[in-house]
């Protein structure tokens, strides 16, 4: 089982480092393929994102792909919301939030696929208030679903016409405060399996480092299309899974 969990973490990390999305497959894979209880899998995955977030942020920062002026406002909103999400997860039906994330992901990917002009260069500026709100939503939803941040943040930023590499870079930077705050909340309100978290952290870190380097080699137009297709597929899977559980 531990070998499979390591493989899930490696694949997820590769996707996170390359296109900013991948955490969404980690908890479901552990739940359905390795029989890890959801209340054990989510805290372990969130804790693992701390190390992978450090590595992913470092790689993107080295390539000057992170807009630090935007990062601060995103993180200010994300950290307290992520801590709150660790508590809210015990009293709110996560299916509703999963459905919203799935719909957002699907529509954002579909919109990006239909858009013919390149989403590169200098994008329109985003106000600090908007960044704070986006960071809050990202931290809260990521903490509840165990996705770490990129799944929520990347489609929102792409919809706001930010360059894809900028969106992925910011998703790496926000992953760290979200993971730290959510893990603190999970320690207070629940529990974190240190062995499972350690295995996931090692696998995610290796995958994230490789994926981040790959992202700076692949042409940006191709990278944008890859992100868009993955968003549509993941959104469809999330919505189908939520629909199945509601019926």
pLDDT digits (tens, 9 = 90+) for 146-193: 877 887 888 888 778 888 788 888 988 898 899 999 999 999 887 899
**pLDDT, position 118:** 42
pLDDT at 200 over 80: yes
Query: Quick one: pLDDT at residue 91?
Result: 75
3-state secondary structure string across the chain: CHHHHHHHHHHHHHHHHHHCCCHHHHHHHHHHHCCCCHHHHHHHHHHHHHHHHHHHHHHHHHCCCCCHHHHHHHHHHHHHHHHHHHHHCCCCCHHHHHHHHHHHHHHHHHHHHHCCCCCCCCCCCCCHHHHHHHHHHHHHHHHHHCCCCHHHHHHHHHHCCCCHHHHHHHHHHHHHHHHHHHHHHHHHHCCCCHHHHHHHHHHHHHHHHHHHHHHCCCCHHHHHHHHHHHHHHHHHHHHHHHHHHHC
**Span 47-51, average pLDDT:** 91
Q: What are phi and psi of 39, to 5 degrees?
A: -75, -10
pTM of the model: 0.77
Distance CA(74)–CA(61), nearest Å, equals 16
Q: What is the pLDDT of residue 20?
A: 67
Let me know: does 76 contact 231? Beta carbons within 8 Å.
Answer: no
Contact 174, 116 (CB under 8 A): no
The domains of the chain are located at 2-246
Distance between CA atoms of residues 142 and 195, nearest Å: 22
Structure-block tokens of residue 149 = 């941040």
Q: Is the pLDDT of residue 121 over 60?
A: no
Return the minimum-mean-pLDDT range out of 97-111, 118-132, 133-147: 118-132
Kindly indicate the confidence band of residue 228, based on its pLDDT and cuts at 50, 70 and 90: confident
Q: Please check whether residue 170 is in contact with residue 134, taking contact to mean a CB–CB distance below 8 angstroms.
A: no
Instruction: Pick the range with the lowest mean pLDDT from 21-35, 47-61, 133-147.
Output: 21-35
Burial class (CB in 10 A: 0-12, 13-18, 19+), 188: exposed
**The predicted structure's pLDDT at residue 80:** 95
Q: How confident is the model at residue 119 (pLDDT cuts 50, 70, 90)?
A: very low
pLDDT tens digits, 66-81:
989 899 999 999 999 9
């Amino acid at each position: 089982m531990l070998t499979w969990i390591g493989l899930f973490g490696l694949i997820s990390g590769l996707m996170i480092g390359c296109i900013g999305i991948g955490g969404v497959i980690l908890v479901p894979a552990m739940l359905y393929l390795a029989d890890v209880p959801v209340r054990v899998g989510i805290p372990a995955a969130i804790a693992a994102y701390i190390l992978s977030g450090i590595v992913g942020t470092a790689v993107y920062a080295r390539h000057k792909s992170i807009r630090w002026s935007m990062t601060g406002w995103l993180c200010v909103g994300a950290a307290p919301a992520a801590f709150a999400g660790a508590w809210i997860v015990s009293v709110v039906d996560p299916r509703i939030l999963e459905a919203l994330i799935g719909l957002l992901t699907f529509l954002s990917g579909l919109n990006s696929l239909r858009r013919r002009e390149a989403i590169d260069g200098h994008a329109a500026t985003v106000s600090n208030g908007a960044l704070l709100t986006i960071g809050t939503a990202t931290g809260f939803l990521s903490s509840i679903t165990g996705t770490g941040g990129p799944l929520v943040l990347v489609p929102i930023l792409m919809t706001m016409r930010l360059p894809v590499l900028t969106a992925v870079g910011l998703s790496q930077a926000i992953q760290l405060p979200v993971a730290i705050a959510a893990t603190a909340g999970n320690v207070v309100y629940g529990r974190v399996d240190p062995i499972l978290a350690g295995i996931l952290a090692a696998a995610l870190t290796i995958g994230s480092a490789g994926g981040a380097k790959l992202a700076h080699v692949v042409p940006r137009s191709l990278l944008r299309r890859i992100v868009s297709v993955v968003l549509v597929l993941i959104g469809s899977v999330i919505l189908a899974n939520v629909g199945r559980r509601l019926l």
